[in-house]
Structure formats: structure tokens, C-alpha cells
Structure 1
Amino acid sequence: MENKIIPIFPAFFFPNVEYFMNLRKFDTLSIEIYENFPKQTFRNRTYILSANGVLSINVPLTKKTSIKQKTSEIRISYTDNWDMKAWRTITSAYGKSIYFEYFEDDIKQFFTNKYEKLIDLNLDILFYFMNKFDIKSKIEFTQNYNIINQDYDFRNKFFINNKEKKSNLKFSPYIQCFSEKFPFRENLSCIDLLMNTGKESNLIINF
């Protein structure tokens, strides 16, 4: 009997909606921890909607980060207090959202716990949002770096900005903060989805 292919996903910093729409399709998946860390990706960046439009929140990495370091080795830099600045940005963007008070303390902990490694921060975020979105997929971790069928390899299928390839998924619109100023902005951070739709987030993910 042919062995079943286990899809491989990267661990992202507050993954976008597309990430979870793909992830929830699989009963079991592996999170990549042995890749050589690729810079300028969602692994340490996310996009939210603010009063000034879409903006990014980045996790700064220690200066010794190189392309030869494994994802599991990457360390976070706190020299510029990025975590408190990021939390203020999120509070400013979503403080008046309908569900902010319900999830404020949960989300804030990701910016106050002083994670040493990026992978630990990203995994805690992943497990939290899988729970909120009612995703039951079993999570495993890669034991080495393998090349697999492209249909099951999600390590490079999520794109960082509008200049790159668009998702071919159809996104269900929901009311966002600042909707009076901007048209619906699809595929933002899971923070945007949770703060604006609350318990109905899983309906959007399963659209």
C-alpha cells in the first residue's frame, strides 16, 4: 500500500486567512522546522487593517540570522521593544472592534511573554487560532528537510504582497474595522478575522 503523503506547512506569525483555509482540509500535517530560514516571508510578518490602510507588523530577528540557519534556530530581537509597539498598533487598529474585549488578553500574551525563538511564538499562535477556528487537524513536525509533491507542499504557497501571485481561493467578505473608509480587504491576518467575526470565524474559514 502506498504511503499517504503528509502535507507540509510553514509556521507563520499570525497566519492569514488563506493559510487556515488550506490547513483545515487535512486530518494530519507537518510543520516545517528544518528548512533554511527564508527571509522576508510571513514567518515573521503579518498584515492587518488600520485607520491608515493595510500595514505590516514584523518580528525583528537577531542580527546573526543567516540563510543557513534552520527555522527552529531563529531568535527574536527585543532591542527596539517591537513587541510593545506592535501591541499598541493592534490596539489602535482593533480596540473598537466588536470582539476586541473578548480576545484582548489572549492576544496580548503573545506580545508580553518574551519568546526567545520565533518558532515557539509562531506555534503558540497557531495552536491558539486552530482552537478558535475549530480546526481539529493533527500537528506533527518535520524530522528533516524533504521535497514532496507540490500539491502537498505549502512552504512557498503563501505570498507576501500584492506584487506577487494572488491566491486562487474565494474569500467570504465580513465587516471589518474602518469599512466606512476602505473596501473589504481579503486574506489579512487571523487577528483581523477573529476581532471582527468572533465565534463566526470558523464559518469564514470553512467557506
Structure 2
Amino acid sequence: MENHHLLHPVYFPNVATLALIVKLPVIWEVYDNFQKQTFRNRCYIATDQGKHMLNVPIKHIGGNQGRQLFKEVKIDYSSAWQKQHWKTLQTSYRTSPFFEYYEDDLSPIFEKKYEFLMDLNFETIQFFCDSFQVTMPLKKSKNYQKTPLDIVDNRSLAIAKTNFSFVQEEYFQVFGERHGFLKNLSGLDLLFNKGPEAMEYLNSIKLE
């Protein structure tokens, strides 16, 4: 029996993480502490300016509480970040081959007010699973283990600075002629540029 892989539910996962989600059995880590500088509340897309970060603002807890469980982190709506993310995606990808194809399924994510960051992230992953016509992994961790047993620990994929090396074949990107091929962006970039072929592309990726 194939081992399960432990992953963080992140915001619009990148290509490497998505390849793992669609190819292998996954368990979601839901008992860890929130960490900054991770894909938990950010993703990267391609714009006319090059690689661009979409960041979800969160409510920071003050005082002596210090660490906070990821599943208890709440989203900060004091700025119109949803409007900004959606407008940036529209501006960047409206000329891509498949943006219009997924637009109606995607836009509700930027209209609903999710209280918790983790709920928003699961919704973004569900969007991908629906688009790829694969079953959303539902298994979740039951407690926090620093060194999990009988499971492959891939939680480091959520750390934005992790140098995760994998061979990624280049595909057409809207601003590719201007900026060259941008590797391992959010799966949104792959979906808008390759459409129904995105699933085949993910399946072809060899994960070490």
C-alpha cells in the first residue's frame, strides 16, 4: 500500500504541490502552528511585470499568546484584498487561452467572506480538484507530530523558501516572451494556459 503524504493546505497551491495532490494519497496537516513566509497565505502568478505574489492578510494575535494554530488563523478584511487578487488575475490572464473557461467557477472564491484562512485554502484546493476532475483528499491529521511515523512528511513544500527541485517542462505562459518561463507558479497559471491538458501535465511530473 502506498504511503500517505502529509501536506499543508495552502492558498492556490503551486504546480509541485498540485502534482502531489493529484497523483498520491494525501493527509492534510491541520494541527500545526501558523508560520510566516509560507504558502499558507500566499501564492505566485505571472503578470506583465513578472513573478507576482498574491498575499492574504491575516489577523495577527497580540500579547503573550505568541504562537497560534494554523486552523485558528482568521482573515483580515480591512483591505479589499479579494477585489485586488481577482482584478490582478483578470488583468494578467484575460488573454490566456482558458481564463474565460474557468472564470465563473473561480470568481465566487473572491466574493465569499471566509472567516478562517484554512477554510479559504481548502476551497482553493477544491476548485483545482473540480477543474481536474479528481476527488478532493479529505483525510486530516488527528494531532501534531514533529516527526510523523508511517507517512511521508512533505510539509516543507509550504515554506516559500524551500528549494524543491523537480524537472518541470516548459509550457506556454502569457508573458513568457517577456520574462522567460516562470517555474512552479500557482496552479492557476498552469490551468489558465493549458486548460484541460493541465491534468495530463501534472501526471507527467516526476516527483523525487
Q: TM-score, normalised by structure 1?
A: 0.89
1:7 maps to which residue? 5
User: Of residues 165, 171, 174 in structure 2, which corresponds to 1:174?
Assistant: 171
Q: Distance in 2 between matches of 1:67 and 1:103?
A: 40
Secondary structure of 1:47's counterpart equals strand
Deviation at 1:106, TM superposition (A): 1.5
Secondary structure of 1:170's counterpart equals coil
1:1-80 equivalences in 2 (<5 Å): 5-26=3-24, 28-64=25-61, 68-80=67-79
In structure 2, list runs of 5 or more residues that go unmatched.
none
Secondary structure of 2:176's counterpart equals coil
- One-letter code aligned to 1:17: V
Secondary structure of 1:30's counterpart equals strand
Secondary structure of 1:83's counterpart equals helix
1:131-170 equivalences in 2 (<5 Å): 131-136=130-135, 138-146=137-145, 147-148=147-148, 152-160=152-160, 164-170=161-167
1:197 maps to which residue? 194
Which piece of structure 1 moves more, 145-154 or 169-178?
145-154
Q: 1:7 to 1:165 in 2, by over 3 A?
A: closer
Q: 1:151 to 1:187 in 2, by over 3 A?
A: farther
- One-letter code aligned to 2:164: S
Deviation at 1:139, TM superposition (A): 2.4
The answer to whether the 8 A contact 2:15-2:190 is kept is yes
- One-letter code aligned to 1:43: R
Deviation at 1:7, TM superposition (A): 2.1
Deviation at 1:150, TM superposition (A): 9.6
Which piece of structure 1 moves more, 17-26 or 192-201?
17-26
- One-letter code aligned to 1:69: Q
Deviation at 1:137, TM superposition (A): 6.2
2:127 maps to which residue? 128
Q: Distance in 2 between matches of 1:67 and 1:183?
A: 41
Q: Distance in 2 between matches of 1:89 and 1:38?
A: 25
In structure 1, list runs of 5 or more residues that go unmatched.
none
Deviation at 1:179, TM superposition (A): 1.9
Q: Quote the RMSD (CA, aligned, Å).
A: 2.1
Q: Distance in 2 between matches of 1:144 and 1:151?
A: 14
Q: Distance in 1 between matches of 2:106 and 2:191?
A: 10
Q: Which has the higher helix share?
A: 2
